[in-house]
Amino acid sequence: MKDSTIPPHQNTPLEENRQGEVLEMTQQAEVYGNNGKKFYIESYGCQMNFSDSEIVASILNQEGFAITKDYMEADLILLNTCSIREKAEDRIRKRLKELNVVKKQNSDTIVGILGCMAERLKTKLLEQEKLVDVVCGPDAYRDLPKLVGEAETGQKAVNVLLSREETYANINPVRLDNAGVTAFISIMRGCDNMCSFCVVPFTRGRERSRNAFSIVAEAQDLLDRGYKEVTLLGQNVDSYKWTNPETQEVVNFAHLLEMTALVSPQLRVRFSTSHPKDITNEVLHTMAKHENICNYIHLPVQSGNSRILDLMNRTYDRDWYKERVEAIRRIIPDCAISTDVIAGFCSETEEEHQETLSMMEYVKYEMAYMFFYSERPGTLAARKYEDDIPLETKKRRLREIIDLQMQHSLERNQADIGKTFKVLVEKVSKKSPDDYCGRNDQNKMIIFPKGESQVGQYITVKVNECTSATLKGEIVEYL
């Protein structure tokens, strides 16, 4: 049986810990250029943004820019942004105002904004708010050196054109995680789902999938360089579909997942994020077949009520979602499931909110990312539906969702006490320099005394105690 995992950057399952929302981190690496200029980059939001920052670092490094950990010494400061909620954009605006202090001290410093917020607001950030010098959308990163050059002459520079072809497949990302243990591989870009609440189709464009062989080659390269785990990324990974132009053979996500797993049994494989309509039995059987494909699926439900799901344009109903959960439990009995939940979507009644709670009771998710509805300009919901649920009601419903999820997370973790798990040692624990932490197959973070273990090593850990967010244990075997 595959050993017994919650997504990278796992945190307490509260509203502001959504990796696709407000999680921020300065990505750092010792990468040196030769043009005498340095750049600094911060990434906000989803894993795709962190992966994109590695692509940007590669492009700039090839142009001679060196990366720095200190924005005060940078010639170029970049924020890779998230637009999924208004709160995320407000945070980035605040950060831009802080960084403009640097510009006042050094007028030659260039400040640029990348990613979804750049795509959504376009020239408003340049002309009205005057917070940045460069605006570059997710499909225009190859143009970034040219945009920076324009900004250096005093011109405001912008490229937010979306592409139907760009996948950055031929760019070898600069890995910005110094640990060299886990890495992201972007397998596709964009989204065709058009959920009514979501800005992603407007900020990242239509779906297009990378060449499957380039993905496998990237996984092999990472393994050769000592990495032990890869995460296949996409707005909707399980809709991946690539046609080999030479043979006309179609590679779907199940095929790609197996191709990646076959690189080496020593390379762990994860993926994110799945859409319930596309998590096929073929994908599930592929996961069950390969021990190095982790038993963890992030399966956003958004609401437990069929009418609300229809308003959200999620293309499934309550019964369909439950059937997919049943299939996961049947085919991969020890698979962990996490989710996204939105409280207070347009016209949601109290009874419909209760159906979301009952869905949570049915699944008992290991972890969830939870928010109240935030209307995003330009989306179908903003154009068609009234945001008519009072803020106090949204917050109260969200609190009920969070409280229930905290209960379920604790119950799920308590069930792991006394069990042993294969764990990949990832890093030093934030709470104690004497402890390491790493994730098990179900993506649960486990903290344990270092012992003789090393970062990047597989070990077996016995769980002795837990909180709702983490497991705590001791090493029982070095693998």
DSSP 106-174: -TT-EEEEEHHHHHHHTTHHHHTS---SEEE-TT-GGGHHHHHHHHHTT--EEE----SS---TT--PP
Higher pLDDT residue, 290 or 120?
290
What amino acid occupies position 245?
A: P
Tokens at 267, concatenated: 């390379």
pLDDT of residue 170: 87
Evaluate whether residue 322 is within a structural domain.
no
Tokens at 48, concatenated: 């795709």
pLDDT tens per residue across span 158-199:
998 888 888 888 888 888 876 789 999 999 998 999 999 998
Evaluate whether residue 405 is within a structural domain.
no
Give the list of residues 6+ apart from residue 227 with CB closer than 8 angstroms, or none: 180, 181, 182, 183, 267
CB 360 within 8 A of CB 407: no
Domains in the chain: how many in total?
Answer: 2
In this predicted structure, the answer to whether residue 87 has a pLDDT above a threshold of 90 is no
Evaluate whether residue 209 is within a structural domain.
no
Evaluate whether residue 133 is within a structural domain.
yes
Read off the DSSP letter of residue 451.
Answer: T
pLDDT of residue 106: 82
pLDDT tens per residue across span 48-74:
888 889 999 999 999 999 999 888 889
The average pLDDT across 121-146 equals: 84
CB 471 within 8 A of CB 446: yes
Percentage of the chain exceeding pLDDT 90: 67
In this predicted structure, the answer to whether residue 402 has a pLDDT above a threshold of 90 is yes
CB 55 within 8 A of CB 171: yes
pLDDT tens per residue across span 4-18:
322 333 332 333 333
pTM of the predicted structure, to 2 decimals: 0.86
In this predicted structure, the answer to whether residue 224 has a pLDDT above a threshold of 60 is yes
In this predicted structure, the answer to whether residue 31 has a pLDDT above a threshold of 70 is no
Instruction: Write down which residue in 106, 130, 159 finishes a domain.
Output: 159
Evaluate whether residue 38 is within a structural domain.
yes
In this predicted structure, the answer to whether residue 148 has a pLDDT above a threshold of 70 is yes
pLDDT of residue 30: 44
Evaluate whether residue 225 is within a structural domain.
no
| CATH code assigned at 104 | 3.40.50.12160
In this predicted structure, the answer to whether residue 88 has a pLDDT above a threshold of 80 is no
On the 0-12 / 13-18 / 19+ scale of CB atoms within 10 A, 427 is middle
In this predicted structure, the answer to whether residue 91 has a pLDDT above a threshold of 90 is no
State which residues form the domain around 55.
15-159
pLDDT of residue 257: 98
In this predicted structure, the answer to whether residue 27 has a pLDDT above a threshold of 70 is no
| CATH code assigned at 472 | 2.40.50.140
Please, what is the average pLDDT of the chain?
Answer: 89
pLDDT of residue 29: 42
The average pLDDT across 96-121 equals: 84
Report the SS3 class of residue 310. Answer: helix
Task: Round to whole Å and give the CA distance between 81 and 417.
Answer: 39
Instruction: Write down which residue in 159, 185, 212 finishes a domain.
Output: 159
pLDDT tens per residue across span 305-320:
999 999 999 999 999 9
Of 319, 298, 174, which is closest to residue 237 (Cα–Cα)? 298
Read off the DSSP letter of residue 190.
Answer: -
pLDDT tens per residue across span 369-382:
999 999 988 899 99
pLDDT tens per residue across span 325-361:
999 999 999 999 999 999 999 999 999 999 999 999 9
In this predicted structure, the answer to whether residue 457 has a pLDDT above a threshold of 50 is yes
The average pLDDT across 201-226 equals: 93
Instruction: Write down which residue in 159, 193, 228 finishes a domain.
Output: 159
Evaluate whether residue 181 is within a structural domain.
no
Evaluate whether residue 44 is within a structural domain.
yes
The sign one gets for the Cα dihedral 368, 373, 376, 382 is positive
pLDDT of residue 96: 86
pLDDT of residue 472: 97
Of 182, 176, 178, 177, which is closest to residue 424 (Cα–Cα)? 182
